[in-house]
Amino acid sequence: MKIISILIFLSSFSLANEADFNASYYGILTLLPPFLAIVLAFVTKDVIFSLFVGALSGTFMLAFSESSSIIASIIPAFISYIDRVLNSMTNNSNAGIIMQVLTIGGLIALITKNGGTKAVALWFAKKAKDAKNSQFATWCMGLFIFFDDYANSLIIGPVMRPISDKFRISREKLAFIIDSTAAPVTGLAIISTWIGLEISLIHTGYDLVDPAVFASLHIARDDINAFEIFVQTIPYRFYNLFILIFVLLTIYMGKEFGPMLKAEKRARAGEIAKEHLVESGGLEDEILEPDENTKLKASNAILPLLTLIIFAILSFYYSGYNAIKDEGLKAMIDESPLSFFALRTCFAEANSSTALFQSAVIASILAIILGIYRKTFTLRTAISTWLRGWKTMISTVAILLCAWSLSSVIKDLGTSKYLIEILTDTTPLFLLPTVIFLFASLISFSTGTSYGTMGILMPLAIPLAMGIGVHNGLSGDELHHYMVINIATVLTGAVFGDHCSPISDTTILASMGSKCSLLAHVNTQMPYALSICAVSILCGYLPITLGLNVYLCLGLGVVAMIILLALVGKKVES
C-alpha cells in the first residue's frame, strides 16, 4: 500500500535489525500471516475477519520471538495488534486516506440525493446505446483520472455503476475496468502522486552501486538522470500497457472467460449477486434517493466532480510546492510555475491523501450549495445526507485499517527479506528481468503494497542488475538498456502483484467503488491478471532480453492477447 511503503523503505536501523532477526528465526513461517489472510478470505468470504487473523498471527509470532512462551505471548500479541491499528489511524497519511474515503462517500451521497447521479446515468444511457459503449466510457474516464489511483477508484465507480447496471454489465467487470485503469495508469504517468517515490528509488538504487563499477565503466555517478531513466522504462512496462489494451480487447471483441464470463452472463440475465448487496450495503438506500419532484440535472453531479478533480490537481501542486525545502528548486519553479518541470516536481512531493481530502471537502460544499440553491434539499437534510454517505464507507475504512496493520506486521517479521534471501542467487543474464518481475509480483501480492515492493526491491535490483551486466561483459548502451529493463520489471511487477492481491488498498477501493464483493472482484480479476502476466513474460521480458525490439514485443503481446480471447473467450450476448 502507498502509505506503508515509505515506512518499509525508510525503516530505522533497530527495526531493520528486528526484521533481519525474525526473517532468520522464522524462515518460511514469515509467509504465514499473509498466507492465512489470503486463504481465509477465500474460505470464509469475510475479508475483515481474515485480515484480523492474519495480522494477529503475525503479532503472536513477534511476541513469541521475544518470550519463547506460547502462553506469555497471547496478551502481548493482542496488545500489539491494537497498537498497530491505533498507529495506522494516527499516521497523518493514513488519516488523510480515511478522511478522503469518508468525505468522498459523503459527496457521492449528496450528488445521489440531489439527482445528479441519476441524471448522469440517464444522459449516458441516451448516448451509450449498449454495454460496449458504456464500458469504453469507463475505460476513458480511467485514463482521464491519471494523477492518482485512489481518486480513480473512488470517483469512477459511483458515477458509472448506475450506467453499468442499466446495460447489465456485471459489477465484477466494472471493478476490473476501474482497477485496471487505476494503478497501471498512475504508475505510467509522468505527472502523478507516484512519480516522486519512483524517481527517488531509482536514484537511491544507483547510489548503492559499488563506486568501482562506475569507475570501471568510466561513468560518473552524478551523470545518472533518474527521471530520464523513468521515462525510458515506460515502453518496457509490459504488464501496465498490456492490461490496458486487454481491457479494450474484451470490450470490443465482446468476449470473456473464466469466472468473469459467468458474472457477465448472470448480469445480462438481469441478476445482481446477493453478496454485492450484502457486503457493500450501499448508496442505493431509499433515504438517498432523490425526491419525486426533484428536477434531475446532470450538472448536480458534474460540477462537484469536476471541482473534485480540479481542486485535487491544485491541491497536489500546492501541497508539493510547500513540501519542497530546497529554496533554489523553489526559485526555478517560481520562474515558470506551469512548466512541465514545475508540475512534475510539485506532484512528486505532494501529499496525495491530504490533497484529495481537501478537494473532497470543497466539492461537498459546492454540492450542498447547489442542492440548497436548486431547492432539492434543505441544509439540515444536506448535512444528514453527507454523514449518511460516510456510513456507507465504514466497511472500507475497517478493511483498510486491518490491511495496514497486516502490512506493518509483515514488515517487522521480515517476510520480504526472507523472500529476497532465497531468490537472489546467481541468475542468468537473460532470466534476471523475469526473476525480478516475478519476485516483485510475489512480494506485492503477499504484502498488498506496490509502493512498499518498489521500496524493498529497487535498492537491491539495481546493484544486482549492474553487477550481473558488468560480469557478463555489458557496457555502454547495452548495459544502460539492460538496466532500464530491470528497473521496469520492479515497477511493473509491483503493480501486477498489487492488482491481484485481496489485501491491496486499490483492490479494496475498486470493489467498494463499484459496489462489488471484494472476493468476487479478486476471483474474476485474477485469471485475467495472471494471463496478462504470462503474456508480459513470454512476449515481453524474455524476448526483450534476448534482443528483440521493444515495439515488436509490444505488437507480439497484442497479437497474443487477441489469440487468447479468440480461442478461450466466449461471446457474451447483449
Grouping H, G, I as helix, E, B as strand and the rest as coil, residue 256 is strand
Position 235 scores a pLDDT of: 94
Its pTM surpasses 0.75: no
Q: Which residues of the chain have pLDDT under 70?
A: 1-18, 41-42, 45-47, 117, 121-122, 124-126, 147-148, 151, 191-193, 196-197, 208, 210, 216, 218, 220-223, 272-292, 294, 348, 352, 396, 416-417, 419-427, 456, 574
Q: Structural domain boundaries of the chain? A: 17-92, 94-272+281-571
Grouping H, G, I as helix, E, B as strand and the rest as coil, residue 255 is strand
Position 457 scores a pLDDT of: 76
Full DSSP string of 65-93: HHH--HHHHHHHHHHHHHHHHHHHHHSHH
Could you tell me where the beta strands, DSSP code E, fall in 331-421?
none
Task: Check residue 281 and give left, alpha or beta (phi > 0: left; psi -120 to 50: alpha).
Answer: left
Span 330-346, pLDDT tens digits: 888 888 888 888 887 88
571 DSSP β-pair partners:
255
Span 192-238, pLDDT tens digits: 657 766 777 787 778 767 677 777 676 766 667 777 788 889 999 99
Q: How many CA atoms lie within 13 A of 20 on its CB side?
A: 7
